[in-house]
Structure 1
């Protein structure tokens, strides 16, 4: 995080994290106004590992009622409902949702368009997977610059794919963020 700050990153609005220990504290120590959102997809995967295979589909369906709720109060109600439905069979499965609710519920403050961007770290994981694919197939890079050029080419290819899916609606999302964070984004947008 300090390295990002040294590279002139002035602010982080929202950080979507996968639950790495103390990563949230590292972010907040350098960017104290950042909001930390736990990756919902990781939370679902981690929750389902405590659920028997035969119950996973119905349990996952019930979990969906939590993260698709329209607001935090409805999300809490859905969490309690799922907990009540499954507590006799899987009393531990939802414990981490309760313990980490403050970082799981941040995305309720945002519109549906923004939620789709922030509730998962899958985009970042995809970038890392593509980077690994390129670097794993090469034994050695002669210089650091040759490695950077290769990674740059990967990003260029990924950018073409993002034009079709990820970037769709980005102008609307940027406008919504500009309204919510007007005081923090005004020097960049106007």
Structure 2
């Protein structure tokens, strides 16, 4: 059976990924390799989206300072570790001089892309799983290192 026709975006992405894998001699042997590639792609996409958000906030792009109509400007990047279903990743969050920038893609103090993670933990706890079982389950399914005590704090918070 033939593959259905890709959308132009999917075809472009397929070509891009094929070239990337070939040019960088990346071999995909198992799911761990796929996770690693997905984690890298996700960090690049998130960083690009955050940079675009700051461009929008400031009203000019990075090197277009001649069109600058604000007294605020870029002030480098800070690093943040995000927990994702692909594992932990480091991303660079752009900053502005005045500290007014409130990113929406990855909000301040957000440390997980999967925002429903706490709900999943609470649901597992409500179904009778022990904190150790939940910790093990989260490590196996999401490659997230979460301690028994963190699970306990999350579940205690939900019971109050």
Q: TM-score, normalised by structure 2?
A: 0.31
- The structure with the greater share of residues assigned to strand is 2
Larger Rg: 2
- The structure with the greater share of residues assigned to helix is 1
Q: TM-score, normalised by structure 1?
A: 0.28
Tell me which of the two structures has the higher relative contact order, counting C-alpha pairs closer than 8 angstroms and 6 or more residues apart: 1
